[in-house]
Structure 1
Amino acid sequence: MAQPDSLIRDISPPATRRSSVQTQRLTPSVEHQGTRRIRSGCKDVDDGELEPTLAAVEAGKAEVREHLEYFARHLSAVKRASPQPTISITEFRNLYKRNHNAHGHHFVIHQHDHPISGVHYDLRLQFSETSSVSWAIPYGLPGNANSVRPNRMAIETRVHNLWQKNNLIESASHATGSLLIWDTGEYEVLESRTRQTHNTDDEHSGGDDQPERAAESQNGRLRVAFQSRHIHLRLNGARLPPGYTIALRLPSQNDAGKQPRRKRRRLEPGSAVESTKRHLASFKDDDDSGSDNDQSETASIMTSNVDAAMASESEGEDATIRANNAYPGATNSIGSLHQRHWLLRLDLGNSGFSKARSGNDEGRWIGPWTPFFVRGRDYERSVVTGRLADDVMADEDVDMFVGRKMWRPILE
């Protein structure tokens, strides 16, 4: 196959800034851009055989026919022993095969260390046979029921293609940083506790709509909940605790009516700070988003992402992708809009927590699992391969990568 000219394309928003100086400094050799010799230990191929790199596939510069076999082979070859939970390659294959249909309900959480937007976590939820709706969560999923910062920002991004690459991939390149699978599995969409109580009463009174609701697919429930702008989502993965449930809500002031327009003016690197300040000044936090600490977190998130997001809009992305908010191979039939800011928090009731009424823990939330904290790229490992971000970089021959600094975990 022909080798690609460039890998300067984003994995998930925002895109890289494409100055000629940066491109010359960061872009690796052509041999490493497009093809590489398969590592010793890969099955079904001879050592030394050339095939596309993971980065080339992820950037849309190369295609593979049997994507599951391609990714399973690569991930199996680099799998490591890990002190954190992992799944086997067989489980990885079976998870894909179960959900390779119109009613699939696959999810993946990627840890992405992007050179411009920095470390963040991408949540992707399958809603059709080919497509997944996606959010970028700067600080990862919450794991402490009693946190003083219960709310997280979840920024809606492009609709991704599931099976060609996005839900299955771990990769690294100078242009896009490292990407690893933090957790993966299947999701359930739950009703709010108020709605559950109401439905229980309907069951006792012989409600006619119960069989229809029970037969509805999980991705069908996701579509309905997404349109209502309020999603109660249980993630049945390998890393997250059993019963782990979050609530995603889109505040009315953040509910844009159409895709944002492309910025007419190209931003110079030094102008991103001013754009960020203007965006922050116009942003109003949700009325019940929490304490001053929550507002401070929101400001911090937007400071670290808005400049890169605006740069993405100004860098001439393909008009079709921008208009449809979907990458090639995906169809935005769910009505996703780019860069809408959702609020995400633990769904304490559906996660099994209740507030203690007495004793030493009076007033605190008590539940079935102990708190966990997302600690970032130097600690978090892939749930498939057991690798750290630096391991992914090394395995993909990415040297001297310069990431964005200042990311700090939420440990309170």
Structure 2
Amino acid sequence: MNNPLKKVLAGSLLTALALTISPALHAQTPSEENFCTDTGIAFVFFNGVQTTVREANRANDELARLHGYENDDGEEIAYEVAYNYTEGFGDFIETFDQRLLEQDSELVGRYELFFESLRGDGPWWSVIGHALPQLLDIRDSWIDWYQAAVVQRLTALFGSPPTEVNYAEHRARIDNWIVEGKKLLFVAHSQGNLFANAAYGYASSQLPADAVKLVHIAPASPSLNGPYTLADLDLVINGLRVAGSVPAITNNIPGYLLRPAGVNGQKDILGHGLLEIYINQQLAIASRVKTQIDSALNSLVTPPAEASSGFFTATLTWNGSGDVDLHVQEPGGAHVYYANMTGEAGYLDVDNTVANGPEHYYASCSPERLQAGTYRVAVANYARATGRAATVQIASWEDGVLGTRTVTVAEPTGSTPGYDLFDVRVEEDPETGKFSVSLQ
């Protein structure tokens, strides 16, 4: 099959055949012993403003603890963070360090104080506050400055939303969930609502009604696509009212001195923290958030499936018309692509010949079929896709996204891969027989 016309005809024949097979049967082909957990619901958390990766994962773990790993119908739930890579803490820390220098040179470089200052208390502040009482005034002025700076950044995002690059990783992951027939629940906090709104718009345009839902927490956006919760003393979101409209307040929370610490043992003087305020089970506001999320989890409907979940998956998309191909060279030597869709260790179960993708490869979850070794993942511009941005994302059933890369494809190379994007390493523990996957 060496020309575009033949490939398009073959693709049309495969598509017609697929339409005669029920989604449930198609998603299970071939039948194998499965050591991966085939979850039906993807619970996706979009983190808020100035959140580190560690903090986002901590919040995601707490959401999992609160809502469990099954809905009321016994469907399994997989939790994942759709992290947004906004500007970090670097410039804030620098400013904070300068203010400490003005008071006492011995405090320079004490970056742990920066994070405690955002909470308004903490063991370091307690000790230093007794020794240098003037720092308490610095703390208060610092918190005022930090609040204003955060509001300014959020306001800037309204006028200049995140770029295409910011959305690419989220969208690639959504494409994978869609072809695998997952129910999708997006839960967003603060700035994460800007990203979640875009993700919801993208997913809902391709899925049946109620197959994807969004719950907003402290939404830093006037646009809503689902139920929301907003505290009256959330100083960050209230600060946005000066720059534009935000949703109405739904709940009252106690003043700072009367607030119980969150599950992380901390308090948030700005009234905006997810762990400290919105899912703090000692505050009444958390009951509203939990009810909204549980309701969404139990009312999602199942979309059709085109593809299967695997030990790891490789998903290819591109931004327009043309035919870009996904190629996987398996450890045992099998070359899996449109002309050889069944490999020795995995399968290319979705091949797109027209536009945008996706194409989808999954490695088997059968211990008898999965191969240890290196899987080389590449793409080719088969035809008509010169200049397109092709994105490949590798994800595992256990750890979620492992990596995402994008390349602009040049002239067509037919069936010859033109761009090596990933080496995926699968290893088997000789003692336990357990497999693990990583990127080299």
TM-score w.r.t. structure 2 length? 0.21
- TM-score, normalised to structure 1, is 0.22
Between structures 1 and 2, the one with greater helix share: 2
Q: Which protein, 1 or 2, shows the higher relative CO under an 8 Å CA cutoff with sep ≥ 6?
A: 1
Larger radius of gyration: 2
